[in-house]
């Protein structure tokens, strides 16, 4: 072999060795990265753990806080707001009523023609409009003028199927899904905003007066006859369909529950005892917090960066506004510390709230063998391409951990209410049904979440008792419920026929 040939052979061998060494190092590095990624996931899984014993502690804490909130104003993180709804719909309500439902990503307007005893809902129509982001943090007048204008447009389209007796004013049930300190069925002041709304000049103001002024500015002659939270509206709508409904839970952008309480068991109620002896309580359970809640560093960071730090902690663990953001935060950490998705963190992954719960839900439900939906979402939303199946599986695992924790905690919250009502066990000889009306986009569209909530509740109360507890989907019941309540609080006495 000549000198040149020997030299080339040596160089060739050296190149092969170097390449092999690089490959080994790369493999080592990538397996070390993967080990780090899996360690972060395992740690999250452990910290988000919700064994039954913990859920029982959460449920007990919920019951204790319910008592404290009923005892005195400010006695608990749970506001336990008095709704002034002491009579739920009977089915005898009659006439044309409107409802306006404000409180999430969209707002709805609807009209319903009620037929009175045995007449049911004769006719109904609705329109849904999304709320522009800038209105959620603008001024009071801009928000209320916008919704009043949409309502005016809708009223203008009223057809002949809807009949308002001559000389009567139109009446409206206003579903306003935020914490309101009510002073009567048709007045109340906003305590604080939640769910990304932040319009300072409304806090402390009477929201019915705000809306009424905006309706006047639109030249719309309409009286707000009932102001209700969405949970209270859902409870009313649910009761109309099923007399065994005693509580309602919303799982949507935010989360909350309302239930029927015995009026004499509300020490802070200083009014006359209602004839029915009952009062619907808006719990505002989104603000529940307890040392038993499995909070992680991601939750603390989400809370600190939110518009309402230190508040709505339960809501931030379980509701639709936040699940996607928690997953994004974990993914971001894995990308930073374990170079998942490459040496640099994909820029889109750093954008708060870019990953929404409908996206994580779609990824969680991906049953395709190569997790195509996950690949598509990562590409379309986060601009992350060329992901391996292993990486996509990791993403699904994260969605599962975060959704499971939320759903199981929601089930624990429901157990807390059942305990307060004394309905978590079977009483001898009683054949009692307990129906809970559930609504909200999260519950409706996130199947794994819904299944997990329902199976967890059965685990908590046992198969036997669970036969007496029914969770009923009350589809958009909050708007209809508000219309019913407008009817039962109408200024015209003949609206509610005697049964
Ligand atoms: C938030 C609001 C509450 C509402 C819930 C569901 O928690 O504070 O009033 O019922 O979201 O929409």
Range 92-101 average pLDDT: 94
Question: Residues 189-221, buried b or exposed e (16+ Cβ, 10 A)?
Answer: bbbbbbbbbebeebeeebbbebbbebbeebebe
Nearest Cα neighbor of 219 from 280, 290, 145 is 145
The answer, yes or no, to whether residue 26 has pLDDT greater than 60, is no
Residue of 108, 179, 180 with the most ligand 1 atoms within 8 Å of its CB, for mutation: 179
> Distance (Å, rounded) from C-alpha 226 to C-alpha 163?
20
Active-site residue, selected from the candidate residues 230, 303, 439, 476: 230
Where residue 18 falls among pLDDT bands split at 50, 70, 90?
Answer: low
Which of 107-121, 210-224, 454-468 has the least mean pLDDT? 107-121
Atom of ligand 1 at shortest range from CA of 104:
12
Residue corresponding to tokens 């006495």: 493
Atom of ligand 1 at shortest range from CA of 178:
9
Which of 27-41, 116-130, 168-182, 305-319 has the least mean pLDDT? 27-41
The answer, yes or no, to whether residue 170 has pLDDT greater than 90, is yes
Ligand 1 residue neighbourhood (C-beta within 6 Å): 103-104, 177-179, 194-195, 229-231, 250, 252, 254-256, 284, 286, 315
User: What does the pLDDT read at residue 498?
Assistant: 44
The answer, yes or no, to whether residue 285 has pLDDT greater than 70, is yes
Range 127-142 average pLDDT: 92
| Interacting residues of 348 by C-beta distance below 8 A, sequence separation 6+ | 354, 381, 382, 383, 384
Q: What percentage of residues in the chain have a pLDDT greater than 70?
A: 93
pLDDT tens for each residue of 391-421: 999 999 999 999 999 999 999 999 999 999 9
The answer, yes or no, to whether residue 17 has pLDDT greater than 60, is no
Distance (Å) from CA 149 to ligand 1 centroid: 24
> Distance (Å, rounded) from C-alpha 344 to C-alpha 185?
56
SS3 of the chain: helix, strand, coil, percent, to 5: 50, 20, 35
Range 281-286 average pLDDT: 98
pLDDT tens for each residue of 98-124: 999 998 878 999 999 999 988 889 999
Known catalytic residue: 177?
yes
Helices (DSSP H) in 428-476: which residue ranges? 441-445, 447-466
Atom of ligand 1 at shortest range from CA of 194:
8
The answer, yes or no, to whether residue 260 has pLDDT greater than 90, is yes
Where residue 428 falls among pLDDT bands split at 50, 70, 90?
Answer: confident
> Distance (Å, rounded) from C-alpha 45 to C-alpha 201?
42
pTM of the model: 0.93
Residue corresponding to tokens 């009286």: 223
Bridge partners for 301 per DSSP: none
Residue nearest ligand 1's atom 2 by CA: 178
> Distance (Å, rounded) from C-alpha 460 to C-alpha 417?
13
Bridge partners for 123 per DSSP: 113
The answer, yes or no, to whether residue 2 has pLDDT greater than 60, is no
Strand order in the sheet with 170-176: 121-130, 106-115, 94-102, 170-176, 222-228
Active-site residue, selected from the candidate residues 177, 225, 468, 488: 177
The answer, yes or no, to whether residue 19 has pLDDT greater than 90, is no
Nearest Cα neighbor of 465 from 433, 497, 494 is 433
Whether 444 contacts 60, CB under 8 Å: no
Name all domains of the chain by residue range, CATH numbers in brackets: 51-80+243-474 (3.40.367.20), 84-228 (3.30.420.40)
9-18, 124-133, 409-418: range with highest mean pLDDT = 409-418
| Interacting residues of 291 by C-beta distance below 8 A, sequence separation 6+ | none
Sign for the pseudo-dihedral over CA of 129, 134, 140, 145: negative
Range 241-245 average pLDDT: 93
Known catalytic residue: 130?
no
Q: Which two tokens stand for residue 440?
A: 């909200």
Range 330-338 average pLDDT: 96
Q: Which two tokens stand for residue 77?
A: 């993180």
| Interacting residues of 357 by C-beta distance below 8 A, sequence separation 6+ | 320, 321, 322, 323, 324, 442, 446
DSSP state of 350: G
Known catalytic residue: 161?
no
Residue corresponding to tokens 């009579």: 87
Active-site residue, selected from the candidate residues 108, 405, 423, 450: 108
User: What does the pLDDT read at residue 106?
Assistant: 84
């Amino acid at each position: 072999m000549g000198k040149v040939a020997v030299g080339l052979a040596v160089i060739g061998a050296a190149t092969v060795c170097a390449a092999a060494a690089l490959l080994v190092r790369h493999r080592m590095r990538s397996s070390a990265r993967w080990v780090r990624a899996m360690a972060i996931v395992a740690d999250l899984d452990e910290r988000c753990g919700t064994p039954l014993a913990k859920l029982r502690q959460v449920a007990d804490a919920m019951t204790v806080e319910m008592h404290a909130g009923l005892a005195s104003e400010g006695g608990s993180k749970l506001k336990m707001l008095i709704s002034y709804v002491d009579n739920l719909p009977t089915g005898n309500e009659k006439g044309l009523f409107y409802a306006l439902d404000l409180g999430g990503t969209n707002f709805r307007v609807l009209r319903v023609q009620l037929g009175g005893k045995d007449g049911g809902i004769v006719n109904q129509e609705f329109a849904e409009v999304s709320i522009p982001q800038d209105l959620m943090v603008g001024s009071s007048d801009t928000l209320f003028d916008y919704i009043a204008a949409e309502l005016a447009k809708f009223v203008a389209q009223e057809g002949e199927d809807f009949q308002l007796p001559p000389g009567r004013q139109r009446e409206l049930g206003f579903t306003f899904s935020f914490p309101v300190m009510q002073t009567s069925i048709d007045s109340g002041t906003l305590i604080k905003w939640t769910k990304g709304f932040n319009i300072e000049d409304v806090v402390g103001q009477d929201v019915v007066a705000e809306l009424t002024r905006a309706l006047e500015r639109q030249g719309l002659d309409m009286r707000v006859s009932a102001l209700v939270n969405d949970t209270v509206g859902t409870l009313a709508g649910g009761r109309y369909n099923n007399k065994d409904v005693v509580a309602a839970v919303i799982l949507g952008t935010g989360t909350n529950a309302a239930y029927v309480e015995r009026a004499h068991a509300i020490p802070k109620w200083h009014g006359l005892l209602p004839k029915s002896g009952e009062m619907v309580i808006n719990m505002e359970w989104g603000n529940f917090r307890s040392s038993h809640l499995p909070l992680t560093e991601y939750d603390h960071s989400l809370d600190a960066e939110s518009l309402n730090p230190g508040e709505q902690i339960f809501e931030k663990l379980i509701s639709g506004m936040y699940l996607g953001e928690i997953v994004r935060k974990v993914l971001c950490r894995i990308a930073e510390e374990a170079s998942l998705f490459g040496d640099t963190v994909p820029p889109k992954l750093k954008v708060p709230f870019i990953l929404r719960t409908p996206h994580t839900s779609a990824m969680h439900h991906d049953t395709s063998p190569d997790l195509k939906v996950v690949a598509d979402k990562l590409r379309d939303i986060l601009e992350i391409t060329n992901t391996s199946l292993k990486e996509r599986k990791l993403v699904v695992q994260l969605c599962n951990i975060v959704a499971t924790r939320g759903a199981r905690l929601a089930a624990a919250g429901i157990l807390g209410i059942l305990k307060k009502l004394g309905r978590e066990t079977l009483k001898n000889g009683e054949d009692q049904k307990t129906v809970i009306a559930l609504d909200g986009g999260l519950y409706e569209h996130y199947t794994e979440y819904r299944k997990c909530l329902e199976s967890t509740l059965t685990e908590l109360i046992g198969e036997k008792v669970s036969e007496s507890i029914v969770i009923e989907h009350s589809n958009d019941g909050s708007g209809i419920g508000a219309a019913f309540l407008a009817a039962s609080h109408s200024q015209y006495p003949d609206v509610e026929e005697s049964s």
